[in-house]
A and B are shown apart, each in its own frame.
Chain A
Amino acid sequence: MPSLESPKTAAKLPYVASFQNAIRKILSYNWRPGMWAWILHRLSGVGMVVYLTIHVFGLRALYDPVKFDALMSTYRSPLFKIGEFALLAIVTYHSINGFRIVMVDFLGWSPKQKKMFYATLALSAIIILLGGYPIIAPYFIAPFFK
């Protein structure tokens, strides 16, 4: 018969839900690339659902040229261009990482998940820079060369 003092049956310290404890708990995780890949995938997915919702509501303006062109004009400001660039980053990461997941699941791509995650990040960075240039250039780069 195990005594009550055995570690298995001893009363656990109660977990008190608090901001500090939540932070401590998060920091105590052993963060590995796979977890980053997963949490970033989840966050980028939610971000795109939020964007898509706003996007489809906004596009109702497409029945009237005045409303639509005025809406597009408000999007053509430096602040929105930065937002567009951020959106590109979110979409690119989710797409490439999503593609990696599908290839791992369906085609049994390399079990070297860690390397694949870094490859995903590198490929995302290249696409974000190449694709982001035409978005950013007229607002932040071309003015310097006028």
Chain B
Amino acid sequence: MSDRSAKKSGAFGWFMQRISGIVLLATLIGHFWVQHMPTDYLADEQEYLAIREAYAAKNPEYRKAVEEGLITDPKFGEHIITYEKVTKRLSNPLWKVFDMLFLIFGLYHGFNGMLNIIDDYAKNKGVRLTLVAVCWVLAISLFVIGAQTVLTASPYNPPSFSLTELLP
């Protein structure tokens, strides 16, 4: 294997690192806005309590998790990420497209950067080949997992009855 011969000059990777960086700048700002700023995409204290109550009524396991303290109380002034709000936003296909672009460009840019770094430091051929292979396997698995998460995310629809109700 000649050293990554397809891009011997590295100019394409260099160029794409910059283009993907600019795309990421836009998506990261959007992501930060949605996940951290006190907008309607997050639940405030009252909404959080209402959502928790509604889910606990529909889903006994949710109630159990609240009672066991796994789904904790809101803090004063806190804005919280919840399943309800995230899946509601993602029911708009444009948000799915946004998340997919973010995932694809983030993985491309991040792992392209890692290949650059490996190029700089790993001089031994075996070590280098191993690290490059690890990067590819990781990037592809993350793409598959991430795409599945985003594309299948949908509002909670409990079955009309639970099998456990049939048990004595």
Contact = CB atoms under 8 A, between A and B. Distances in A.
Contacts of A102: 18, 21-22
Contacts of A45: 110, 113, 117
Contacts of B82: 68-69, 72
A24 interface: no
Interface residues of B, number: 48
Contacts, number: 108
A42 B116 CA distance: 10
Contacts of B138: 53
Given A65-B84, A69-B71, A72-B82, A59 B146 contact: yes
Interface stretch (B2-10, B32-40, B125-133, B159-167): B32-40
A19 B61 CA distance: 54
B77 interface: yes
A128 B26 CA distance: 17
A137 B77 contact: yes
B25 A52 contact: no
B65 interface: yes
* Main SS at interface, chain A: helix
Given A65-B62, A76-B78, A76-B80, A57 B145 contact: yes
Interface of B: 18, 21-22, 24-25, 28, 32, 36-38, 52, 55, 59, 61-62, 65, 70-72, 75-84, 86-87, 103, 106-107, 110-111, 113-114, 117, 138, 142, 145-146, 148-149, 152-153, 156
Interface of A: 42, 45-46, 48-49, 52-53, 56-57, 59-60, 62-63, 65-66, 68-70, 72-73, 76, 88, 91, 95, 98-99, 101-102, 105-106, 131, 134-135, 137-139, 142-143, 146
